[in-house]
Structure 1
């Protein structure tokens, strides 16, 4: 069975725009997915990038243009200036890590829906994804116990930190980022078609 490690940030607009497209591709190819949320601001500093606010004005301007165009092409509504951005991504990431552990134990719940719900809360619904009530609502909407927002925080913090180190070690420098079991890397929602083609054996 093919496998995809999915590196993403819960405050990334492109992670939001990716929606559940990865999971649709994975389902077509019988591939499994491991969710690896990480601190994208730390990743930028570790891999030669800059947080958006520190980029040259030309880059900041083009980033907004690209987000708006990408949203239009994908048919996804988006709030271009979210009320709570950049929020602290750690609490929502810990909840996703806890939810993934719950699924591994056999609990019900939809991880793809959870990631989509969290990123939609940030980039469409003007909600603070660092707020416990928002996180609990996202967990509930995805079929998880909302109490996961308050459980396994130490394990969540350790995994979150380990995900960043793994991302750096494996050549990840942005989000969303997809790494296959054979080491192929694909960066961005606009490269999901390349991932699909790779899993199909076309490239």
Structure 2
């Protein structure tokens, strides 16, 4: 059985555009997934990336065009300039870590609910009320928004270190741990699917 380490950021538009396709692929191949939210700006700084606001205007313009096109392909609504972005990704990330530790809900649905709140619903995912609503919608106890904050902070920091060590440099980033096969971007999920099927 394959295992996938899934590195992502709750403020990443491409994490949002991944939807729940990773979960569909994992289910199809009987793969397990570990969700590893991290600080994407810190990952950029550690691996040679540049935050969107610091990129050349041509790159910024192209990024927005790509996001629009990819949203259409994914059949997902998107606001290219959301009201609450950038925002603090730590609280929503801690909640995902707490939910993964607690179990009992749908982690893929939780990640999608949080990223959708940012990129399509004009909500501030740093706010406890928004996080609680997302937890509830995904079948988790909303009190997890306030649980395990120390463990959450430690895991969040460790995820960054693990990502750098594993060769991840963006989000979303998928690594098949048994073979160290790496896939960067929501537009590589089909490749991940083919790889797990043994055809790539």
Scaled to the shorter chain, the TM-score interval is over 0.9
TM-score by length of 1: 0.97
Determine which of 152, 155, 162 is the counterpart of 1:159: 155
Q: TM-score, normalised by structure 2?
A: 0.98
Deviation at 1:144, TM superposition (A): 0.5
Runs of 4+ in structure 1 over 6 Å off? none
1:56 aligns with 2:53: no
Match of residue 89 from structure 2 = 89
- 1:93 deviates by 0.1
5+ residue gaps, structure 1, are none
* 2:136 paired residue number: 140
Which residue is equivalent to 1:180? 176
Find the aligned partners of 2:183 and 2:4 in 1 and give their Cα distance: 10
Could you list the per-position Cα deviations for residues 32-59 of structure 1 after superposition, in whole angstroms to 9, with x for gaps in the alignment? 0000000001111110011100111111
TM superposition shift of 1:73: 1.4
Structure 1 residue aligned with 2:74 = 74
Partner of 1:171: 167
The answer for the alignment partner of 2:195 in structure 1 is 198
CA deviation after TM superposition for structure 1 residue 75, in Å: 1.2
| CA–CA distance in structure 1, aligned partners of residues 121 and 74 of structure 2 | 18
Aligned length: 199
Output the CA distance in 2 between the equivalents of 1:170 and 1:72: 32
- Please name the residue that 2:124 is paired with: 128
Q: Distance in 1 between matches of 2:22 and 2:127?
A: 26
Partner of 2:105: 109
Report the 3-state secondary structure (helix = DSSP H, G, I; strand = E; otherwise coil) of the residue aligned with 2:16: helix
Query: What is the rounded CA distance, in whole Å, between the counterparts of 1:27 and 1:109 in structure 2?
Result: 16
